[in-house]
Amino acid sequence: LGGGTFDISIIRIQGRVYEVLATDGDTFLGGDDMDGILCDRLSERFAQQTDVNLRHFPLSWYRLRDAAEKAKMELSHAQVCSIFLPRLVGEDSLVTQVTREELEEVVSPLVTRSLRIAARTLQAAGVTTEQIDELVLVGGPTRIPMLRRMVKEFFDRSPAPGVNPDTAVAEGA
């Protein structure tokens, strides 16, 4: 689950032979989508405080989107994230907090969508979750604790420990 896409591959490894049993994904499902949903939530909050629609201010929207992405990353390690965007539009600033619980609420439908694709891919491969020996999660959004919990519940096993989600593909995941 990277910034822009979700991909899943089910691979059988026997000795030095790698066989792709099935692959699937969604080119419109990734961390950027999570950032966008959180950005929408923050934009609504700003509009309630100021009556200003941030979509009419592209530079302000960009700043908000950047803050949403940073909040998503911080909430992978913290329970609360403070956001302060001074003079976001004119003299109006955004001063707010986002909780991990709030992030999980807004991204949960996207994680559920990825798990539906995983189920479809398992079916295409002709395997069950019990037949999966190891899970390798790749991409920054896989650091989100709720995502890891939902994957663990779905597959009834924890993802492989010690795999760096940022470099796994480059290292030949």
Give the pLDDT confidence of 112-159 residue by residue, as tens digits: 999 999 999 999 999 999 999 999 999 999 999 999 999 999 999 999
Q: pLDDT > 90: what percent of the chain?
A: 90
Give the pLDDT confidence of 50-94 residue by residue, as tens digits: 999 999 999 999 999 999 999 999 999 999 999 999 999 999 999
Region of 20 on the Ramachandran plot (φ > 0 left; ψ -120 to 50 alpha; else beta): beta
DSSP H helix total and E strand total for the chain: 4, 4
H helical segments located in 24-99: 31-50, 58-74
Q: Give CA–CA dist 23/46, Å, rounded.
A: 41
**What is the structure's pLDDT at 37?**
96
